[in-house]
Amino acid sequence: MLSVNFASCLRHFVLFLDPVDIETLRRAALSEGGLLTDDIRRKVWPKLLSINVYNLPPKPSKDVREDHKDYRQVVLDVRRSMRRFPKGMRVDEREVLQEQLIDIILDVLRRNPQLYYYQGYHDIVVTFLLVVGERMTIAIMEKLSNHHLRDFMDPTMDSTKHILNYLMPILERVDRELHDFMIRSEVGTIFALSWLITWYGYVLSDFRHVLRLYDFFLASHPLMAIYFAAVVRRSVFLCRLFFSRSISSLSRMPRQCCVMTFSVFVREKASAPVKKPSHISTKPPLNSMSHQK
């Protein structure tokens, strides 16, 4: 196995290739250990999303909060997000970032009136803000909101529910016994909602694990988050942790179990193309691709 220092040097070397080999960057993001450092992430994440780093959106204007229909809800959600900031961060520094977080969310929504805010969106935005800063976060969130996260930003939850409904057929392929148990238990799929719409940022307590997962998702198909939910659910069941008919119990993700699952999942699945199981549905899925023109 490559040492962290050698792997980091290799990833930095790839960044200076001309032209940049996006497929190599993607493989680096999918590999065990991912992109390793925030410095590398600041360079690679925009490339994975085809963002022009020389033409970033401006900082939000002073009037971005004026008469915005989502302002109050965004403020409430951001004020409750203190645990998403690093422990030990000075209060004044955190408050500045929270104000930026509010402005970024409202700015993306104002620039894209077809998008609707949902609770949990801020959990994704804050992850990028802490790594890449204000202007790059706006660019990244505009891209993700119109692609990977697009279904979650409809006026209703119909598209989100449709994606959640993929979970059981995928799980049936992975573990028929667990699938049948869940069907008998009538637990449904709502337990995975917070996992999906926050890209697991809300349920993972270690920021390093969140970043590692974001490396993985940015380099993967938009549906990867629901595939990962199926693997995590199976792992939790096998660990005999937190499995019951209680939705609140199901939605709490055992951290260590998730981390171990992710390591195995990356090693076994990262190199394989993501395909929708043939028995889910023959009609086009209501995923991010359905919103593209």
Region 48-56 average pLDDT = 95
Q: Give pLDDT, residue 189.
A: 85
**Is the pLDDT score of 264 beyond 60?**
no
Dig out the tokens for 271 from the structure.
């190199």
Q: Give pLDDT, residue 231.
A: 80
Helix (H/G/I), strand (E/B), else coil: 107: helix
Q: State what percent of residues in the chain have pLDDT above 90.
A: 53
Distance CA(161)–CA(156), nearest Å, equals 10
Region 267-290 average pLDDT = 42
**Is the pLDDT score of 244 beyond 60?**
no
CB distance 57 to 29 below 8 Å: no
Q: Residue with structure tokens 């220092």?
A: 5
* Listed range (54-68, 81-95, 129-143, 248-262) with the worst mean pLDDT: 248-262
For residue 100, what are the contacts with CB-CB under 8 A and spacing of at least 6?
Answer: 129, 134
Query: Which one, of 202, 220, 44, 38, lies nearest residue 129 by Cα?
Result: 38
Q: Give me the domains of the chain, ranges plus CATH numbers.
A: 4-48 (no CATH), 71-146 (1.10.8.1310), 158-291 (1.10.472.80)
**Is the pLDDT score of 83 beyond 90?**
no
**Is the pLDDT score of 271 beyond 50?**
no
**Is the pLDDT score of 179 beyond 70?**
yes
Q: State what percent of residues in the chain have pLDDT above 70.
A: 73
CB distance 257 to 231 below 8 Å: no
Rg of the chain taking only CA atoms, in angstroms: 19
Q: Give pLDDT, residue 182.
A: 80
* Listed range (6-10, 42-46, 73-77, 220-224) with the worst mean pLDDT: 6-10
- Helices 207-218, 224-239: inter-axial angle, 10-degree rounding: 140
Region 127-142 average pLDDT = 98
* 129 or 176, greater pLDDT: 129
CB distance 159 to 286 below 8 Å: yes
Q: Give pLDDT, residue 259.
A: 52
**Exposure string over 176-194, b if 16+ CB within 10 A, otherwise e:** eebbeebeeeebbbebbbb
Distance CA(253)–CA(293), nearest Å, equals 36
Query: Which one, of 258, 113, 240, lies nearest residue 199 by Cα?
Result: 258
Distance CA(190)–CA(249), nearest Å, equals 12
Q: Give pLDDT, residue 98.
A: 97
Distance CA(201)–CA(216), nearest Å, equals 13
Task: Tally the residues of the chain.
Answer: 293
Burial class (CB in 10 A: 0-12, 13-18, 19+), 52: exposed
Q: Give pLDDT, residue 10.
A: 56
Whole-Å CA distances, 91 to 85, 102, 126, 144, 182 = 10, 17, 16, 29, 44
**Is the pLDDT score of 87 beyond 80?**
yes
**Is the pLDDT score of 28 beyond 80?**
yes
Query: Which one, of 8, 81, 87, lies nearest residue 41 by Cα?
Result: 8
Q: Give pLDDT, residue 6.
A: 47
Q: Give pLDDT, residue 246.
A: 46
